[in-house]
Structure 1
Amino acid sequence: MSEPSAVPDAPISPLEPWPDTVHWQPVSRDLIWVELIRLAIGMGLLLAGLGIGWAITGYWLVGVGFGAAVLLTVMRTITTVRAVLAWGYAERDNDLLVRHGLLIRRLSIVPYARMQFVDVTAGPLERAFDLATVQLHTAAAASDARVPGLPPAEASRLRDRLTALGEVRAEGL
């Protein structure tokens, strides 16, 4: 019979699971539509070019390229939906956690004291769906994090809270 371990079970992955104290906030599901429209514009142009090229030349290799582009569009549509659902952020006492990614999962932990400034941006498509992106900037370019797909009121609240916490934490440095 084995003895119980004095050390609690270690997480299976460094990215998950998180303690019960971390409450992940999802991004808006409307971000799915923004990303799918961006995909449709890009792939629509590619498919139109390939379709015209195939119609003009009749070359079978252009037709294969067209079929591959259609397959890629379907696959990218599925992964776009899953990728948006993987985004999340959590506010803790001393830092902000931002997670995203499917194949390569990324977890950014940004201490409030290290933040230099916080941007809120919204492009034309985001504004059409009433969304904004919060971008955090630190001294190290690699540690910048962003949280897309937030309603403007939540983006403003998060910006103001992060700015206030960053000022308070930076005073002690």
Structure 2
Amino acid sequence: METGSGEEGRAAGDHPVWTALPPGLLRMRRLLLVVWLAPAAVAAGLVLGVTAGPAWSAPALLPLAPMVWGWVLLGRNWRSWRYAERADDLLISRGVLWREETVVPYGRMQLVEVTSGPVERRFGLATVQLHTAAAATDATIPGLDPAEAERLRDRLTELGEARSAGL
């Protein structure tokens, strides 16, 4: 997967230079997975160990299987996300089994938001949300560094205003 700045992505023409999401998003999602599933395994083990005896606490390991599976799937999902800034539009690509590529023309953008919830802020992340004239084409880029999210917001807003001025 290629990475690069937005300037390179716009200069590439037919072959956009893709920018991958930072690893902080993967760390945050994996931590949330462990925070939710590890207590379930411990609670199941304690309940079964106390009520049915230590030999019956083995089924408490069952929540660990989804945790391992989720760990792998989160990594694959994170690697699938990327975006590229081109001369006339923004490309967002994601998906492992079902690949989805969204093309958002700058002239169609109505609003560009940068949001960051408490967990995202703790990990130094922000999300860019693009709103267009058609509600079905709204696009999101999660897990960006806040400075990159603000740069992208400002750049997309500037390009959107320039492209929509002729409409």
For residue 90 of structure 1, what is the aligned residue in structure 2?
84
Match of 1:43 among 37, 41, 56: 37
- Deviation sequence 1:6-62 (CA, Å, 0-9, x none): xxxxxxxxxxxxx86210001101111111111112213432443343234439998
Offset, 1:109: 1.0
More helix by share: 2
- Matching residue's letter, 2:104: V
For residue 150 of structure 1, what is the aligned residue in structure 2?
144
| Structure 1 range deviating more: 149-158 or 135-144 | 135-144
For residue 165 of structure 2, what is the aligned residue in structure 1?
171
Q: Which consecutive unaligned segments of at least 5 residues does structure 2 have?
A: 1-12
Q: Percent identity?
A: 44
Q: How does 1:20-39 map to 2 (within 5 A)?
A: 21-39=15-33
Q: Which whole-Å CA distance do the structure 1 matches of 2:80 and 2:142 have between them?
A: 12
Q: Which consecutive unaligned segments of at least 5 residues does structure 1 have?
A: 1-18
- Matching residue's letter, 1:164: E
Q: How does 1:23-172 map to 2 (within 5 A)?
A: 23-58=17-52, 64=59, 66-172=60-166
Is the CA contact (8 Å cut-off) linking 2:25 and 2:143 kept in structure 1? yes
Q: Which whole-Å CA distance do the structure 2 matches of 1:62 and 1:152 have between them?
A: 44
What's the Cα RMSD here? Answer: 2.2
- Matching residue's letter, 1:55: G
Q: Residues 105 and 53 (structure 1 numbering): CA distance in 2 closer, same or farther, change over 3 Å?
A: farther
- Matching residue's letter, 1:129: F
* Count of residue pairs the alignment pairs up: 154
Offset, 1:136: 0.8
Is the CA contact (8 Å cut-off) linking 2:18 and 2:83 kept in structure 1? yes
Q: Which whole-Å CA distance do the structure 1 matches of 2:36 and 2:17 have between them?
A: 35
Q: TM-score, normalization: structure 2?
A: 0.81
Q: TM-score, normalization: structure 1?
A: 0.79
